[in-house]
Chains A and B, each alone.
Chain A
């Protein structure tokens, strides 16, 4: 083959590989849709109106109310974000504005380590350390609150690292101008740095929310997994992800399809969040 022909063949095979890589996400959506069809056709509104979650392989034999799991996921995610967003932002401010350079470098390394700890280990720590602690407060200990704390810790590094990089992108001259105008350090942060980095920080929180919605085993290990809409934060509940993890092993028929359908809900939620984050980021680039 001539060099030009080889070159063309190479480029086409590279294109093929890239297309395959890009097609995976489409394949995931397609498969989840196909596997959800029985649930959508046989169960439909029963996913909300049934009396409870007593799944069976055939729709006629069981009841399939997934509302408690949806509520569980939303509660746990919201709680974790409410805790992790301010703490993560404070962490980022600490690194960027408050800590001496040496301390900031060490602290950033710590946060990176925290980001690298697997969900299973967070869950395990929650199970052996937090559950007994919260159980002393009020049994059983495995509860929405425990899951919120564990999940907040897990997503805190995401908020911290991404907000810090957004803060680092704020031009130095803005900060200098603020100082020259006589603003105090906090004034500079609150009136200049935070507004300038706003879209980056919001993106960080959105991405962390996506992580929280999708986290599975760390939640399963500490939330108690009882199918109910909890009446207090100290009660156990079950998340959508956990429901899949606990039941896929033996599910078949409509039950299996209902689990794929809950996976589809999770996927759509996370995709919406990703799109929102991408849109916000694009917005920022347009202004720059």
Chain B
């Protein structure tokens, strides 16, 4: 500080222009940060203030009444769970296989690896409404699934795949090479090494990948409008149509006059689940750090 003042031209009585610039920048940047934090607080407090009164065990367990204005969200929760199950049942095996191939079996720079990685990168950027169109054309019409939990789950599986592959590939790559050498030294084939050494060691990271994918799927609505639909009944099979939490919020807010109360409460449930997921990844992440002693 003192050296800076000493080099400042004409030791002025007021702050030299350079320090004024510093102060102005600091003020602006602090103002922006306060604004951003304030908006987050505004959104969360507004949801809590209007939504908490509608929230309770009954809200989670009851069926909706009066187009969703009254009653609870039991069938919506069930549909959300079913769609997530379908999504993971498809995305996890396919994604894990791709991640294992990319990290353990082919060179990073090989043409095939580049091709897969680029394709997934592009897939990650596809807008969710386009996934909705794709799912509608392929699963709902060509495969004749109709609006159904299965069609919605498959569409979401395509959507979360890039995220899941990238995160689980990173988890596998983070395993130190010593493990691979030790496994090879013991005479394990590369696949045996993956199965009994690398996957167990990378498991926490793969769990993070899984949880992130669930978060992405939970937040999604546009891709589901024309694949799983927006029927409010309790789904009896994967062939039934049904709406998720996110779509329930949208439908109540947009198409049901007087549905705001329950839309608020549903939004809190959705946000609460996402926060739990956020917390979950943080906890798993800490566990990984402790285990590898970093």
User: Which residues of A come within 8 Å of B, CB atoms?
Assistant: 3-4, 6-7, 10-11, 13-15, 17-28, 31-32, 34-35, 87, 90-91, 93-94, 97-99, 107, 110-114, 116-125, 127-129, 153, 156, 160, 182, 184-187, 189, 207, 210, 213-217, 220-221, 241, 244-245, 248-249, 259-260, 263, 266-267, 270-271, 273-274, 278
Check if A129 sits within 8 Å of B42, measured CB to CB.
yes
Q: How far is the CA of A259 from the CA of B100 in the complex (A)?
A: 38
Check if B116 sits within 8 Å of A21, measured CB to CB.
yes
Check if B33 sits within 8 Å of A91, measured CB to CB.
yes
Taking residues whose C-beta sits less than 8 angstroms from the other chain, chain B's interface range is 35 or more
User: Which residues of B come within 8 Å of A, CB atoms?
Assistant: 3-4, 7, 18-19, 21-22, 24-26, 28-30, 32-33, 35-37, 39-40, 42-43, 46-47, 50, 93-95, 97-98, 100-102, 105, 112, 115-116, 118-123, 125-134, 136-138, 158, 161, 165, 189-192, 215, 218-222, 225-226, 246-247, 249-250, 253-254, 260, 263-264, 267, 270-271, 274-275, 278
Q: How far is the CB of B145 from chain A (nearest CB, A)?
A: 15
Residues of A contacting B131 with CB < 8 Å?
28
Check if A185 sits within 8 Å of B22, measured CB to CB.
yes
User: Could you tell me the dominant secondary structure of chain B's interface residues?
Assistant: helix
Q: How far is the CA of A260 from the CA of B95 in the complex (A)?
A: 28
Residues of A contacting B222 with CB < 8 Å?
119, 216-217, 241, 245
A116 with B274, Cβ < 8 A, contacts A90-B29, A125-B43 known: yes
Nearest A residue to B97, CB-CB: A17
Residues of A contacting B247 with CB < 8 Å?
120
Q: How far is the CB of B93 from chain A (nearest CB, A)?
A: 7
Q: How far is the CA of A228 from the CA of B226 in the complex (A)?
A: 25
Q: How far is the CA of A3 from the CA of B273 in the complex (A)?
A: 45
Residues of A contacting B165 with CB < 8 Å?
21
Q: How far is the CB of A189 from chain B (nearest CB, A)?
A: 7
Q: How far is the CB of A210 from chain B (nearest CB, A)?
A: 6
Q: How far is the CB of B245 from chain A (nearest CB, A)?
A: 9
Q: How far is the CB of B39 from chain A (nearest CB, A)?
A: 6
Residues of B contacting A7 with CB < 8 Å?
189-191
Check if A20 sits within 8 Å of B138, measured CB to CB.
no
A18 with B101, Cβ < 8 A, contacts A124-B249, A127-B253, A186-B21 known: yes
Residues of A contacting B95 with CB < 8 Å?
21
Check if B40 sits within 8 Å of A114, measured CB to CB.
yes
A24 with B101, Cβ < 8 A, contacts A94-B33, A123-B250, A248-B133 known: no
Residues of B contacting A160 with CB < 8 Å?
36
Check if B271 sits within 8 Å of A18, measured CB to CB.
no
Selected A-B contacts with CB under 8 Å, 30 pairs: A11-B105, A11-B191, A13-B97, A21-B95, A22-B120, A25-B123, A98-B26, A98-B30, A107-B33, A112-B278, A113-B278, A118-B271, A120-B246, A120-B270, A121-B249, A121-B271, A184-B18, A185-B25, A185-B26, A186-B21, A207-B125, A213-B127, A216-B128, A221-B250, A245-B132, A248-B132, A263-B133, A267-B130, A270-B126, A274-B122
Residues of A contacting B220 with CB < 8 Å?
118
| Cβ-neighbour of B32 out of A3, A22, A90, A97 (below 8 A) | A90
**Which interface residue of A27, A93, A184 has the most chain B CB atoms within 10 A?**
A184
Nearest B residue to A189, CB-CB: B25
A26 with B133, Cβ < 8 A, contacts A116-B278, A125-B43 known: no
Check if B271 sits within 8 Å of A117, measured CB to CB.
yes
| Cβ-neighbour of B130 out of A32, A114, A185 (below 8 A) | A32
Q: How far is the CB of A276 from chain B (nearest CB, A)?
A: 11
| Cβ-neighbour of A25 out of B28, B119, B226, B274 (below 8 A) | B119
Check if A94 sits within 8 Å of B29, measured CB to CB.
yes
Given A17-B93, A267-B127, 14 other A-B contacts at CB below 8 A?
Answer: A3-B192, A18-B97, A24-B119, A25-B122, A110-B40, A125-B46, A128-B253, A153-B39, A184-B21, A210-B127, A217-B221, A260-B133, A278-B118, A278-B121
**Which interface residue of A14, A97, A114, A210 has the most chain B CB atoms within 10 A?**
A14
A93 with B40, Cβ < 8 A, contacts A120-B221, A187-B21, A266-B130 known: no
Check if B253 sits within 8 Å of A124, measured CB to CB.
yes
Residues of A contacting B112 with CB < 8 Å?
15, 18
Residues of A contacting B98 with CB < 8 Å?
14, 17-18, 21-22
A128 with B46, Cβ < 8 A, contacts A21-B161, A24-B161 known: yes
